[in-house]
Structure formats: structure tokens, C-alpha cells
Structure 1
Amino acid sequence: MDWSRCLPEKLQHVLILAHPGHELRIHHWLELKKPRIYLLTDGSGGRHSARTQYSRDVVEAAGATAGAVFGDIPDSAWYKALLARDFVVFADVLERISVDVSDMQDVQIVSDAVDGYNPMHDLAYAFGNALNGMLQSIRPGHKQLCTAAVPNVPGLVEVDIQLDSAARARKMAAVKAYTPLADEARQILERDPRCFDRELLISQHFDWDTPWTPEWERIGRERVANKVYDRCITYWENVQPLAQQLLSGNDRNHT
């Protein structure tokens, strides 16, 4: 008898992030869990170069794996799709991720948290919602967990990892080598001095049906008023309906 068939399936981890570089926030967790990682954007924003290769180097060094969607879509393409409410782009990415994880049996989904800081952060959470719902429709699953890309994001702490000196040194080296994020890393360290000592995963219960005005929308409206942008993405017109469509195939809209 093959006793290995009687053993429980090994828990595998999937990490869905909006932008390259977010993985640095939970660098030691990557080393411990070795997740399959999906990056929605290439981190180019409106004016910068893609950061994908920097993240690929981080992922490989940590022993994790790059998934089928890994920073191959520019930020500008996502924002264009959001403004056009082009659900095909979102559905295609969800399909690519779901096919890529179809070989996994026992899966823990981790995503960016909803933070109101950037619409793609919030939508990474929606992708996690949708994927977790799809997986749980087939087999029992786990509560979706989140990693906060910015400080002071609300949520219930579910995983708290204290880094020893060696893990801290490796994380600091990885951040230092990620040169496109040098200024951003410095600002985060100023606001969250313990980010090199402690890594958290939280759970959230975000209701996609509830009206909300995130900070990124307020800033966008200000820039339209100041004629910096011609138009801006809004939660009600753009993000909410696309998130709801991602979730429409599931029996529940929350994790």
C-alpha cells in the first residue's frame, strides 16, 4: 500500500499582488512558505520602467515561484481597462491564474489588502476573493489572508512572524538591491520602523456592495479639478462593478 496517499495534502500558498515590490513587505514569509506569486502589473506606473525583473530576482532568491501572470501587463493597460470597464482583461487574468493553480490541492490564498491607497491594491484583493471562491466551490478551503502594501491598514492579525537577525539582514539586502523602490522603501521605513523586524498577514471582510470613497479616488478627483488628469477612476463607476463581476461566479462575495 502506498501510505503517501493517506497523508494530508501539503498546504501550498498563492500570493496575488498588485505591483512588483510588494513581496518585499513579507520577504521572510516568502522564504518560509515558498508561494507561487502572481503580479498583476509591471510596476511601471505612468512614467517609469517595469520593475518585473527585480521582483523575479527576489522571488527566485527566496525559493518561491513566479506564476503564469507575473508583471506582464503595464499599469497603464490596467487603468485603461478600468476606465473602459473592460471586464475581458480582468476575466482573462483570473482564468490564467485559476488554470495555473489547478494542480494544487490544498491552497492558502494571500493577496494585497484593500487599503484605499491604489485601485490595483484593492483589486488584487478582489482577485484573491474570486480565486478563493472558485477553489472553495470544488473543495474545502482556507480563509483568504492579506499583506498590507502600506502601513496602518485595518484587519485582524492572523499570522505574526518575528524576524531573527539573519532573516532581517536578508530582507534589508533584498530591499537595498531593489533600486527602483529606494525612495518608497525609505518612506515606509520612516512610517513603519518595525517593518524589518516583523511581518504580518491579516484577514479582512470587505463588502464590495457597500458604497465607499477610497483615498485614491479623492486624489484622482483633485487632479481632474486641477487639470492634471482628464478623468479619474472611481470606486462606484469602475472598481466596484469590475470586482463584483469577478466575484459573480461565486456563491459568496466575502472571505
Structure 2
Amino acid sequence: MKTLLFIGHPGHELLAYKFLRKHKPLVVFLTTGSGNTGNPRIQGSIELLESLGPKVFKPFEPFTDRQIYNLIMEGNFDEFAKVKSALKEFIKEHNVKRIVGDALEGFNPSHDLCRYLINGTVQDLSSNSSLANYDFLQDEVFKNVDTLKNKDDIILTLDDDELQDKLSACRVYSQLKFEVDRFFNKYGVDFFRLEYFRKITNTNQISTWEAKMPFYEIHGRKRVEEGIYKNALLFEDHMKPLANFLLKTTGQ
């Protein structure tokens, strides 16, 4: 099945290591992975992916994280509409039948934006094609997998050799050392053995968290209080209007 892996930040592909080797998806990045440092890490991901077989495409020019933040804060959604249009054309041109991407977790705005773009694209194409839609979690995958399984989900378990290959790839990706160490210290080596992709059935969903506000808003408000940020990106004021715009809905 021709598959598109559309992910918010370079490096997320490490969470789909066996999936990459098995299915050889087409890969598109939303951002360059520059973060707060301004140093992109996309080239490291391209080199990793090419070593495994998948090819990276650029139907649009990936954004810096600062560009995405500014566009969302300003309410300038036209650029994201162009991304969705480019994705639709790419999917039709390459006869993609399945799209896999970041989950809606409220952790990082770019991750959630990636999910809104995927779901909006699937909605727009639903009358013309059957496009399977999957996401993959980050922190939540390890601790919640037993309660999240559905019959159409894809669950891959790495054998010992595959696990060692994956860990080696993680260690080589020096720009993600902090994240790799965080997952390793928090969950242990078995975190890297499991890859879990959930079948998406509700493409109108714009929030999944039970807390009053998503993590990125809590983090942003704290930074404003500390004098580090001037303004915080808020769900109700900034992300929710963007989600409704991309999904053409006013619902939750």
C-alpha cells in the first residue's frame, strides 16, 4: 500500500523505524526541526531515511519552528491552506492510499498542526478516494498501549536485532540525544521496541487532553511569567481557530 509519512519534526521517524523499513513510505516534513536554537536538523533525517529506503519529498518548503509560531500567533492561516493544497496534490499524484503522521497530544503546536493538516486533507479527499488515516503517539504510546488497542491499529514489535539497529540510529542522531535519553531514562529500552499506529476515525477532533489547557500553553504561560516569552500561544485564542479553519468546522 502506497503510504505517506507526514511528520511535524525531523527525528519523529525514529519512532517508526520498523515501519519505515517494512513499508518504505514517502516522507514529507512540516518543519526543518530548528526549534529554539534555529539550527535545522532535517538533513540528518534525510540521511537516515535514505539509508533505510524511504525517500523524502518537498511538495512545499518546510517551515522553521519560529515561522510556524509567528503565523499561528498572527492568525495568518493562508500559508497552512497552501500546505494542505500541496498535500492533496501530492497524494493524488503519487496515488497514496494511506497517510500516517503525528498524533494530537497537546504537547507541541507543530505536532498538533501536523494532525490538523492530515485530517483536513483526508476530509477534502474523502469523496474522491479511500485514504486510510493513522497517527502515532510519542510519550503516551508506551504507557497506554494496552488500553488504546483497536482492531484496525498497526502494532509492530521489534526483535532484538531490529531493536539494536534502531538504538544505533538513535545514538547516531546527535541532535536528538536529549530526547532519546529522556525516553530511555523514563521508560527503559522496551520503549524503543514497540511501534504503535492508531487508525483515525474522528477527523473533526481538535483536542484530546483532559487538563484545562494543553501542555504547550501551560509551558508558554510559565515562560511569560518568568519573563522569557513576551506572549504565550493559547489553544482557545490561537490553535482552535486554526484547527477549525483547516477542518472547516466549529466543533470539538
Do these two structures clear the TM 0.5 threshold for a shared fold by scoring above it?
yes
CA offsets 1:173-197 (integer angstroms, 9 cap, x no match): 2111111011210111122321221
Matched, 1:229 2:218: no
TM-score, structure 1 length as denominator? 0.86
C-alpha separation in 2, matches of 1:209 and 1:169: 35
Cα deviation for residue 71 of structure 1 reads: 7.0
Cα deviation for residue 60 of structure 1 reads: 0.9
Picking from 147, 154, 163, the partner of 2:136 is: 147
Matched, 1:242 2:231: no
Matched, 1:110 2:100: yes
CA offsets 1:61-120 (integer angstroms, 9 cap, x no match): 121121225773111000010100111111111122222221244511111011111111
1:8 matched residue in structure 2 = none
Native 8 Å contact 1:68 1:100 kept in 2: no
TM-align CA RMSD:
2.5
Aligned residues: 241
Picking from 44, 51, 63, the partner of 1:73 is: 63
Cα deviation for residue 170 of structure 1 reads: 1.8
Equivalent AA in structure 1 for residue 127 of structure 2: S
Picking from 195, 200, 207, the partner of 2:196 is: 200
For residues 202 and 192 of structure 1, do their structure 2 counterparts lie closer, same or farther at Cα, with a shift above 3 Å needed? farther
Bigger proportion of residues as helix: 2
For residues 236 and 104 of structure 1, do their structure 2 counterparts lie closer, same or farther at Cα, with a shift above 3 Å needed? same
Secondary structure of the 2:206 match is: coil
For residues 106 and 73 of structure 1, do their structure 2 counterparts lie closer, same or farther at Cα, with a shift above 3 Å needed? closer
2:217 matched residue in structure 1 = 217
Native 8 Å contact 2:134 2:197 kept in 1: yes
Matched, 1:119 2:109: yes
C-alpha separation in 2, matches of 1:209 and 1:118: 12
**Structure 1, gaps ≥5 residues long:** 1-10
Picking from 184, 207, 231, the partner of 1:189 is: 184
C-alpha separation in 2, matches of 1:210 and 1:27: 26
Secondary structure of the 1:246 match is: helix
CA offsets 1:24-54 (integer angstroms, 9 cap, x no match): 0111101111111121111111224100001
For residues 253 and 13 of structure 1, do their structure 2 counterparts lie closer, same or farther at Cα, with a shift above 3 Å needed? farther
**Structure 2, gaps ≥5 residues long:** none
Picking from 156, 161, 165, the partner of 1:161 is: 156
2:118 matched residue in structure 1 = 128
